[in-house]
Amino acid sequence: MNLVLFGPPGAGKGTQAKLLTSERGLPQLSTGDMLRAAIAARSPLGLSCKVLMDKGELVPDETVIGIIAERFDQPDAANGAVFDGFPRTIPQAQALDKMLAERGHKIDLVLELKVDDAMLLSRVEARIKAGGVLRSDDTPETLAHRLEVYYKNTAPLIDYYRQQGKLKAVDGMAPVETVTAQIAAVLDAHTA
Ligand code: AMP
């Protein structure tokens, strides 16, 4: 089964993807994590993306399409995966459909975590208050820009997947366990 976790920055996609990995054995394919790993490894690809990521801009479609295809070809994704933070544009979604079709796969469901802007901002503020290691793009200012980018480039995917009959909305404002339970109910209904 291939799932897309969809939603604005800070909606909880990563948290839910990790739970899906532990509960359903589907690997989490997070383009953000892959790009941060490339930056940490000081690879040319990572360094070329760092400036864009720090500003909250998207990196080029070809870059993420390339890394996601390479990652999907690892043996642990043979039975599917959870896509987290990818696709983020219509061309990425089209490339993903093509890449999966070429491998005899398809997207089964797209789980849209719905969280309003005020809650996304209060989550960033809470992380800053709590201290610890923060991502360089995890600030109120960068969040505002990341949200602009989300509504302009990524939100159109909601219609793309709705038209394919794959979109399922989940209340991402609920506590983590409640979100997890909602997702489990959607998946169970789908497989029943
Ligand atoms: P994330 O961890 O998913 O919030 O991603 C962090 C940053 O990595 C984003 O703000 C973008 O700069 C970049 N990024 C991650 N995934 C993508 C994607 N699918 N398309 C373009 N840029 C991405």
Q: Is 9 in the pocket of ligand 1 (CB under 6 A)?
A: yes
Q: What is the CATH number of the domain that holds 102?
A: 3.40.50.300
Residue 134: its pLDDT value, please?
79
Residue 67: its pLDDT value, please?
97
Residue 132: its pLDDT value, please?
72
Please choose, from the candidates 98, 110, 90, the residue with its C-alpha nearest in 3D space to the C-alpha of residue 153: 90
Kindly give the distance from the C-alpha atom of residue 176 to the centroid of ligand 1, in angstroms, as a whole number: 22
Residue 93: its pLDDT value, please?
98
Structural domains of the chain, count: 1
87: cis peptide before it, omega within 30°?
yes
Q: How many CB atoms lie within 10 A of CB 99?
A: 15
Please report the atom of ligand 1 found closest to the CA of residue 56.
Answer: 10
Q: How far is CA 129 from CA 64, 79, 92, 122, 134, in A?
A: 32, 40, 35, 10, 11
Residue 192: its pLDDT value, please?
86
The whole-angstrom separation of Cα 80 and Cα 100 is 10
Q: Whole-prediction pTM value?
A: 0.97
Torsion sign across C-alpha atoms 9, 155, 186, 115: positive
Active-site pick, 114, 127, 162, 166 = 127
Domain that includes residue 119, residue range: 2-191
Give Cα 49 to chain centroid, integer Å: 17
13 is catalytic: yes
Active-site pick, 36, 71, 88, 168 = 88
Active-site pick, 55, 98, 103, 135 = 135
The whole-angstrom separation of Cα 93 and Cα 46 is 22
Q: Is 16 in the pocket of ligand 1 (CB under 6 A)?
A: no
Using one digit for the tens of pLDDT, what is the confidence trace for 5-61?
A: 999 999 999 999 999 999 999 999 999 999 999 999 999 999 999 999 999 999 999
How is 150-183 classified by DSSP, letter by letter?
Answer: IIIIITHHHHHHHHTT-EEEEETTS-HHHHHHHH
36 is catalytic: no
Can you list the residues of the chain whose pLDDT is less than 50? none
Q: Is 13 in the pocket of ligand 1 (CB under 6 A)?
A: no
